[in-house]
Structure 1
């Protein structure tokens, strides 16, 4: 059995995953690839990036990527995870709704399930905190305003 690692960047305004990458390794490259995908998918965005204190987010290379993209990093003190709370909530929802209680027999099955779930989460899963709209619907409403 091999592990599969998922890196996601959420837009905290509409709870929409703006980038995600799956990898067999939990390393700097996984986070860098996710960050690069988020920047590519959202040109001109200059958000505050909230993260935990994981080694990937404290590296000089990641910090330089933030500077180059014109972004600011926000990172809580040790044992104060307020910056990363929304991301932890997303992980809990994903695990509860698509992972726990199910068996995936192949890597391909798991990758397909994660990809399908993220699509569902963005386009079909209404959220109370978004006026019972999906993240995509809420995003579109904001763009139209």
Structure 2
């Protein structure tokens, strides 16, 4: 309670007298607490809080208490309970950015379709066994649109390739696929997508066959069949795109590129044993 009064008062939200009355404590007791020698635990909490707030601002307030705890454990090289970080966040009145709801889009008539071979088996034993792919939309400037195509490896959740373009067309998807093949030339993963017109085109089927890959597609209206890719879009938009307003395509492109590098190389994931995707991928290799 004393810490809460101190934190709120330091933010300039009220006098000591008023805050003590609201907290139900005597002002003399608060000043007695204030003048005492802090315990080791309190000093540790103060140090942890400062590191937490610094990290929180560095990542533009996108981390919740679990991910903050994950990064702080590595940064401070000591065990840190996530619930402890949660309590400190509550004390400081901070929380992670809230996700926005995803829009839905109308389907198209396919030239060819593939079975749902992935069948929501999102675990992969090794790199380049299972890839998922999709395209998402961004807005910038005065109603202008940009489209991001990407391929994600289910083994380590790393982004294998991506292309940001002005049009949601075949060229965007084809280039993304070609870049992925170049990145893993000797690999023949299962490639899963939704039933977007690019993926159901005969040309794309030819490219997949030439690369000796198997094609898999989500069932109609079942976005959860491509859940990991949808999850990445939500993470990217929540942790970067929604936090900014973009005037130009170049501004958007710069942030997308910076975020994907951050996501692949620096963003630790509990499901990857506290490693970043590239660290987990390198360890597997």
TM-score class, shorter-chain normalisation, is: over 0.9
Q: Distance in 2 between matches of 1:78 and 1:52?
A: 8
Q: In the comparison of the two structures, how many residue pairs are matched? A: 143
Maintained 8 Å contact 1:51/1:75: yes
Q: Distance in 2 between matches of 1:79 and 1:5?
A: 21
Maintained 8 Å contact 2:218/2:225: yes
* Counterpart residue number, 2:163: 21
User: How far off is 1:67 after superposition?
Assistant: 0.3
* Counterpart residue number, 2:183: 41
* Counterpart residue number, 2:145: 3
Alignment partner of 1:114: what SS?
A: helix
Alignment partner of 2:145: what SS?
A: coil
Q: Distance in 2 between matches of 1:67 and 1:77?
A: 21
Q: Which runs of 4+ in 1 moved over 3 A?
A: none
Maintained 8 Å contact 2:223/2:230: no
* Counterpart residue number, 1:30: 172
* Counterpart residue number, 1:86: 228
User: How far off is 1:80 after superposition?
Assistant: 2.4
Q: Distance in 1 between matches of 2:172 and 2:249?
A: 17
User: How far off is 1:111 after superposition?
Assistant: 0.5
Highest CA radius of gyration, 1 or 2?
2
Note the alpha carbon deviations across 1:71-92, whole angstroms, 9 max, x for none.
0011122122343111000000
Which of 248, 267, 276 matches 1:125?
267
User: How far off is 1:4 after superposition?
Assistant: 1.1
Alignment partner of 2:186: what SS?
A: coil
Give unpaired runs (5+ residues) of structure 2: 1-141
Q: Distance in 2 between matches of 1:34 and 1:134?
A: 22
Q: Normalising by structure 2, what TM-score?
A: 0.49
Alignment partner of 2:215: what SS?
A: strand
Note the alpha carbon deviations across 1:48-79, whole angstroms, 9 max, x for none.
00100100000000001000000001112212
User: How far off is 1:12 after superposition?
Assistant: 0.7
Give unpaired runs (5+ residues) of structure 1: none
User: How far off is 1:31 after superposition?
Assistant: 0.2
Alignment partner of 1:20: what SS?
A: strand
Q: Normalising by structure 1, what TM-score?
A: 0.95
* Counterpart residue number, 2:241: 99
Q: Distance in 1 between matches of 2:157 and 2:225?
A: 14
Q: Distance in 2 between matches of 1:93 and 1:84?
A: 15
Q: Distance in 2 between matches of 1:72 and 1:13?
A: 17
